[in-house]
Amino acid sequence: MEIGIDSFASAMYGSNALNSVDAMEQLLERIVKADEAGLAIYGIGEHHKKEFLDSAPAVILAAAAARTNNIRLTSAVTVLSTSDPVRVYQSFATLDLISKGRAELVVGRGSAIEAYPLFGFDLKDYDALFKEKLELLLKIREQEFVTWSGKFRPALENQPVYPRSSQEKLPVWLGVGGTPESFVRAGTLGLPLMVAVIGGETAHFRPLIDLYRQAGHRAGFAPEQLMVGLHSPGYVAMSNEEAIADYYPGYAELWTRLGRERGWPPVTRTGFDALIAPKGVLVVGGPEQVAAKLLRHSEALGGVDRFTFQMDNAGLNHEQLLRSIEIIGTKVIPLVNNALG
């Protein structure tokens, strides 16, 4: 199982609020730390909000590529529905050259919708936009000269797209939430699947993962081609008690605030305790508890190839995050690898 981090490039809030320059520098330092600690992947999301600095993830990842040596660098996710697939491919192919073959893409429709009015797209075209643009992106990945036509973008007639990626086929994962059609689409296309699970119990996603694998099998893809990734909020400290004490206050503040915007109930300690329980989605605790939970999640979903922590959105400071990355690299990853043989 590959283990890594996803970030929304948060500038923090409350007592840990930072100016944008300092927040960006600290984010790059954390990516370097993750590389040194042996984590497999670091992802940067895409948002267009004041509290996040990730509106141009490929730029952040390119800066990280120049400072790192081994860690793979990915979007998490690229909102493909509101992007030009030609520019998306060019940006990440360039990142692939800078990083010497370490670039990846996770593409999705976007659970946050601020990009749609910003770039002049209509939410009624939410799925149609993504379907068409994913088709074009995959065609560009396969062919240097592209002939294509669609509804939402000018046609291409034997048009070359440069630069080409260093990797023969730039990895493209499909980021999904809970829509069955998205899981079937990923399987039918034979794309690796990145599942964002932020609430409830992870095991509840098993029927959707099965849909993905069944669709991939029907389309003729081998089981090893149908990789599954899992993205969830989490945090690791040296003990369960320390992790909860560090994580809960900021988590409760953030998700209560989001709840006021989206109609969710406020976070309670009872609800939080259910989420950090053995079957709950939050991967929060000491190394042994976290490793056991990752293994439990993998078993429940029929095998997980990649897990990424989302942990810089709970008001944690830079030192806490650096320490957590070190613990993941030196303790959690060895525990998981040993258990998996």
Between vectors from CA 316 to CA 311 and to CA 318, what angle results, nearest 5°?
100
Q: How high is the pLDDT of residue 264?
A: 80
> What is the rounded CA–CA span in Å between residue 31 and residue 61?
9
Q: How high is the pLDDT of residue 261?
A: 78
pLDDT single digits (tens) 259-286: 887 788 889 999 999 999 999 999 999 9
3-class secondary-structure state, position 41: strand
pLDDT single digits (tens) 125-181: 999 999 999 999 999 999 999 999 999 999 999 999 999 999 999 999 999 998 999
Q: How many CB atoms lie within 10 A of CB 277?
A: 12
Q: How high is the pLDDT of residue 336?
A: 98
Sign of CA dihedral 79, 83, 86, 89: negative
Q: How high is the pLDDT of residue 15?
A: 57
Q: How high is the pLDDT of residue 315?
A: 85
CA-to-CA dists, residue 287 to 47, 75, 158, 239, 306, angstroms: 31, 26, 53, 7, 17
pLDDT single digits (tens) 190-223: 999 999 998 889 999 999 999 999 999 999 999 9
The residue whose two tokens read 């609800």 is: 271
Q: How high is the pLDDT of residue 108?
A: 95
Confidence of residue 81 (pLDDT cuts 50, 70, 90): very high
Q: How high is the pLDDT of residue 257?
A: 83
The residue whose two tokens read 């670091």 is: 42
Q: What is the mean pLDDT of residues 81-102?
A: 98
pLDDT at 13 over 60: no
Question: Alpha helix (H) ranges present in the chain?
Answer: 20-37, 57-65, 85-98, 115-118, 126-142, 180-189, 206-218, 240-262, 269-276, 287-300, 318-327, 333-340
Q: At what angle do helices 318-327 and 20-37 cross, to 10 degrees?
A: 10
For 275-337, give the DSSP string: HHSTTBS-EEESHHHHHHHHHHHHHHTT--SEEEEE-SSSS--HHHHHHHHHHIIIIIHHHHH
Q: How high is the pLDDT of residue 16?
A: 63
Kindly report the pTM of this predicted structure: 0.95
Q: How high is the pLDDT of residue 201?
A: 92
